[in-house]
Amino acid sequence: MELENQEILTFINTVKSLSDYDFTEYSDKSLKRRLIKILHDYQLTTDSLLQKISDDHAFLERIVKDITVNTTELFRDPAIWHSLRYDILPGFAHRSNLNIWHAGCSTGQEVFSMMILLNEMDLLEESGIYATDINSDVIETARKGVYRYRFNVGYLSNFDAVIRENPRDHNVYFDVPYSKYLTIDKVRDIIRIKDSLLKKPVYQKMDLVTDPNPFDLKFDVVVCRNVIIYFNYELQNKVFKLFLDNMNQGSVLILGVHETILGPYAAYFEKKFQAYYKK
């Protein structure tokens, strides 16, 4: 199936006219790929899709969620978490409070990864954990903290690599049981986050494109991984300005492995380790 540029533009304009969602500056390739999948999954033509979102606001919301859904996992890309543990977070250990924002938190595994790591570093108690996503369904999943075991069994090897092992000293091993943070029920195919972690994060629905910071504070760590890769150059810079305006001096921005800061806002950050430090 192929989509013409005019069809994509018509979809964007239709959604914009019916809601507050604006996909104008999303990556053309990403949006096109998601739309083709939607047409296939719902067995619709472009015209029937436009008609259906015009007639049914709930369906429009569902399509927006299909477009914006992102995948995540516990301790995704362990090398990033190694850098957080040994290079980045120790620089904040002297602070009386540490505010962390997960922008585009998806289903919450990254939020819980951060809290587990902070707890192992004795930094969780003084940390404020805030998380946002455009998709209310994934936020609800994050609040519950329940995931499929068989589908996500790789979480445990990531846990081992980040929490139990020390890549800087292979003679060091941290004897941290999974049960400290996770309840695993193989029969029911469930991994459940412990209640001690579930009650700490503050979640808020937010569109990074159009909404201001929903929290009345600035942040020391902003984590936005594998989100801006779906935005074009202009929209990326809007988001970088949003982050910059809501970060304390010397705070850090963590992006995905294949993401970087280009353009005018690169001058306001210095890349060290796996982070961009606000100058």
pLDDT digits (tens, 9 = 90+) for 179-227: 999 999 999 999 999 999 999 999 999 999 889 999 999 999 999 998 9
Better-predicted residue by pLDDT, 20 or 115: 115
Do 60 and 15 meet the contact criterion of CB atoms below 8 Å apart?
yes
Q: How far apart are CA 243 and CA 3, in angstroms?
A: 34
Total number of residues shown for the chain: 279
Interhelix angle 57-68/28-42, nearest 10 degrees? 130
Q: Domain spans of the chain?
A: 5-68, 78-145+197-278
Output DSSP code: residue 87: I
Do 241 and 264 meet the contact criterion of CB atoms below 8 Å apart?
no
Do 252 and 100 meet the contact criterion of CB atoms below 8 Å apart?
no
Do 96 and 125 meet the contact criterion of CB atoms below 8 Å apart?
no
Do 63 and 35 meet the contact criterion of CB atoms below 8 Å apart?
no
Query: What average pLDDT score do residues 2-13 get?
Result: 92
3-state DSSP assignment of residue 212: coil
Q: 128: number of CA atoms within 13 Å, CB side? A: 16
Describe the chain by its helix, strand, coil percentages, rounded to 5: 45, 20, 35
Closest CA to 228 of 261, 252, 251: 261
Q: With the CA atoms of 238, 228, 117 and 150 taken in that order, what torsion angle do they form, in degrees rounded to the nearest 10?
A: 150
Query: Residue 99: is its pLDDT beyond 80?
Result: yes
- First-residue to last-residue Cα distance in the chain: 47
Tell me yes or no: is domain 78-145+197-278 CATH 3.40.50.150. yes
pTM, entire model: 0.83
